[in-house]
Chains A and B, each alone.
Chain A
Amino acid sequence: MFGQRIRRVEDPRLLSGRGRYLDDLGHDALAVAFVRSPHAHARIVDIDVSAALAVDGLVAIYTYDDLDGRTSEPLPLLIPHPTLNQGRTPYPLADGEVNHVGEAIAMVVASDRYVAEDVVGLIQVEYEPLPPVVGLAASRDGDALVHADVPGNVAATMVQEVGDAAAAIAAAAHRATLSLSIERSASMPMEGKGVLARWDADDESLLVHTSTQSSTSVRQAIAAKLSIPVDRVEVVTPDIGGGFGVKIVHPWPEEILVPWAARRLGQPVKWVEDRREHFISSAHERGQLHEVEVGYDDDGRLCGLSVRFWHDNGAYTPYGLIVPIITSTQLLGPYKPGAYRVEFQSMYTNTVIVTPYRGAGRPQGCFVMERVMDAIAADLGIDRAVVRERNFIQPAEMPYDHGLMFQDGRPLVYDSGDFPASLAKLKALVGWDEFDSFRAAARAEGRRVGIGLGCYVEGTGVGPYEGGHLRVETDGSVVVSTGLTSQGQGHQTMLAQIVADELGVEMERVRVTTGDTRRFKYAVGTFASRTAVMSGSAVALTARKVRAKALKIAANALEAAVDDLEIVDGQIRVKGSPGSEIDLGSVAVLSNPLRYAFDAGAARATQFAGPVDPTAPPVPEGEQPGLEGTDYYSPVGSTFANGMHAVVVETDPETAEINILRYCVVHDCGTVINPMIVEGQIHGGVAQGVAGALYERMEYDDAGQLLNASYMDFLMPYASEVPHIEIDHLETPSPLNPLGVKGAGEAGVIPGSAAIAAAIEDAEGFAITTMPISPSQLFDLRRRHCER
């Protein structure tokens, strides 16, 4: 199964309309809608609900004053960091001040969503507007403050340095400076967030369904906030309509408020985010401004690199500094920077919070580093691929320690990778060496074409751990669970492939559950391209454990030595001795000595079913009943995948329309479990990379209004905008895990802006320093360069 293009087990259900997304559940539940701030920054003077009270179907209206106990405290700062000394998080409902358009102020519970929305429209909130801080320039000015007690709007300043970058740059034969910026986009899954909570008053317990990327942590957070013993709370993820990072943040205000209201009202309560809410009250990413100084030798080799950047973290910092830390470290890509200094400031603005979106700070870092490579090539007149080759970390230098601290608080050490081989494959795939003549021929026809490269390294499979549980049922079926969640990646298929191979059963007999705390209570979550690495490894280790137990029991039953046994299609047999075999289901029966025969299988495990050893206990010492096991995988560090993209664009000489003619990908995520699924992940990532390079941006006006908060105005690409993608694989196994795998989920998005900017630059002949870029922006750039 491993390495095969196995069709997904998830598909038949999802294709038939039998998916169970959050809003498909809880039709008996009360519906929630929120009053959200129309101001980017304001004090709340008064909330008047009197006009709303007569609406038929209204159940409750809650404001901050109704919150009790720990629900009235700010939401948790999920990932503290010593340098984040001005971390701020919101309250579930605003306590007197709002800091972005969309912040929740009042919660309405009603018989259905139509009624709840009617009530929202009748609640009058009086505001005293405060000066809004929108964009990094205004934030850095510090004239107005987002949080009155945070000087200069600076949430954190962080510096990492290896060697003496300033001295190395000063001593270098050549120097360059670059100012680069990248704008906001967002995960934008097709399904927004949603929460359904049921309170069982007799049992004093909560069952919460939520579209999260971390059910175990939401469970802990709800228990803590609602002061309920954690064993009285279970959190289940139903089918999730995409995540891409935004659903790793937790607890969202609604994940606390909905269970809180369900308990208070004694009725099921459900909230489903609408699209506008998702735009203005979930999370964005990407907005950064970089100032770079680089020194290099005559061959284009880096001597020293100094990067200073400003990261727009929005109004609050619930997810800590993860995004800028990733930018600051993963910026280095496959290169040796010489001496390196990076300093960033994470800045408050009166806009939606910024938390990881697929790629999580890497697209910005990759954009910066690849712009540096292209600038060096242009300055020295060296082929852009050659400059990269000269700066690559070589395979023989692996594992390669950058001397920096990564996002997991551990050293940034690349475990494996063959960057020269990746680039050679990419050059062959795209026809790099032949492009000069293609470009010249096109120019002769009055066309403008260009080619660009983007190379990245991605730390995947971040710890601390994941686990797996596996049980063989007496009918021979295999039930597997892991705690992290799925948002469409095909985890059920991929994990079943691993189990089928490790255990020796048919894949059809394996059922996998993810993200259900009733099944598995210890987990971290789905982020950082970690499921195949973490849960894949954990499930493999678990299957090996269960296999060993099965063989031990079978050896006893078959009167054979364990080493002589094999498992094929669920049958344990003596190698080379046909006829002596026992199926896994029967082994499961034998593993669980019984008193009561509830079916024919069970009868075989009862006390009078066969000869017994009267001197030994029915369950051998050191063993447990049942053919099941649990194991965990916890690596010493991340495993680093890599890839390289080449893009060919054509720009219209008159309209400045930008068309992608070819998009080529070479991808190395170690050993591939299911190439079909990995390629699907790359396709989706590339589409988001193209989107972030050419179409998507968050259009805030100076007052902090998000002008394009709908799919009508936010240009998420359709099939007509995303190019055909050509892929070649390289497999450099990771030495860190039992499967040799590396993460693949985020990779496709990372070098999009870098490669497309380079291709446009090549077509146009002037530097591209800001992404995304629209035809009208390109048109303006042409005019400015003509004027010069």
Chain B
Amino acid sequence: MTRIKILVDGVDYSDDVEPRTLLVHYLREQLGKTGTVVGCDTSNCGACTVLLDNSSVKSCTVLAVQANGHEVTTIEGLAIDGELHPMQQAFHENHALQCGFCTPGMVMQSIDLLHDNPSPTEQEVREGLEGNLCRCTGYQNIVKAVLAAAAAHRESAPGAVPSGGST
């Protein structure tokens, strides 16, 4: 067992973990943060995407011990006082989710995408989400939602950079 200290969704945690424990399993099993899900064994689907120090990572490809001393934001840390993050709201308004299983990862990746490129074209959104699989939506409304979130952010806060909620 190894001792790790991680800031997750704004809360400090200190836990003993097996060195082989994946970050996603630490989040789910030890912290009970089941909003982050596992969709494949090979880091292809992106359902487990979280922000590690404000950059997206696939939490099935990070060991919990590697996150020691770092800051993690999950889908559960985005809403503030029950109010959805603008990206979550854009997904809702544009019907960008169906079964919802890929949604946490898709939302986290979309936030990271706009962080890097606040005014993407449709093609840039599609390429920026390459790495996150969705089997329900055909991506059309996800792309629409990300573009809508980018536009809304430009209108509300010109020049600012969107980020994860609790970070």
Contacts and interface: CB of A to CB of B under 8 A. Distances in A.
Given A8-B95, A15-B84, A15-B88, A716 B133 contact: yes
A712 B100 CA distance: 22
A16 B79 contact: yes
Interface stretch (A187-195, A439-447, A471-479, A609-617): A187-195
Contact of A242 (B75, B101, B104): B101
A711 interface: yes
Contacts of B154: none
B138 A684 contact: yes
Which of B32, B47, B126, B129 has the most CB atoms of chain A within a 10 A radius of its CB? Answer: B126
Nearest to B74: A17
A533 B133 CA distance: 30
Contact of A683 (B125, B127, B141): B141
A152 to B, nearest CB: 37
B103 A14 contact: yes
Interface in A227-251: 239-242, 244
Given A17-B36, A17-B75, A7 B91 contact: no
B42 A23 contact: no
A206 B78 CA distance: 37
Contacts of A720: 126-127, 129-130
Contacts of A8: 92, 95
Interface in A627-680: 676-677, 679-680
Interface residues of B, number: 58
B42 A489 contact: no
B165 to A, nearest CB: 11
A726 to B, nearest CB: 10
A114 interface: yes
A-B pairs with the 8 shortest C-beta distances? A17-B35, A488-B99, A241-B101, A14-B100, A687-B138, A683-B138, A711-B44, A24-B34
Interface in A1-40: 7-8, 10-12, 14-21, 23-24, 27
A241 B42 contact: no
Contact of A725 (B75, B91, B138): B138
B58 to A, nearest CB: 12
B76 interface: yes
B81 interface: no
Interface residues of A, number: 55
23 contacts: A7-B93, A8-B92, A15-B100, A16-B79, A17-B36, A20-B34, A23-B38, A190-B99, A487-B99, A488-B98, A488-B136, A677-B95, A684-B138, A685-B138, A710-B40, A710-B44, A716-B133, A718-B131, A718-B132, A718-B139, A719-B125, A719-B127, A719-B132
Q: Is the interface of B mostly helix, strand, loop or mixed?
A: loop
Contact of A716 (B122, B135, B136, B137): B135
A128 B28 CA distance: 41
A420 interface: no
A617 to B, nearest CB: 48
Contacts of A16: 35, 75-76, 78-79, 84, 88
B142 interface: yes
Interface in B102-148: 102-104, 107, 122, 125-127, 129-143
B37 interface: yes
A21 B101 contact: yes
Interface string B61-78: 000000000000011101
A23 B24 CA distance: 13
A601 interface: no
Contact of A189 (B93, B99, B130, B132): B99
A775 interface: no
Contacts of B34: 17, 20-21, 23-24
B37 A21 contact: yes
Given A15-B92, A190-B99, A722 B140 contact: yes
Contacts of A401: none
B33 interface: yes
Interface string A686-717: 11100000000000000000000011100010
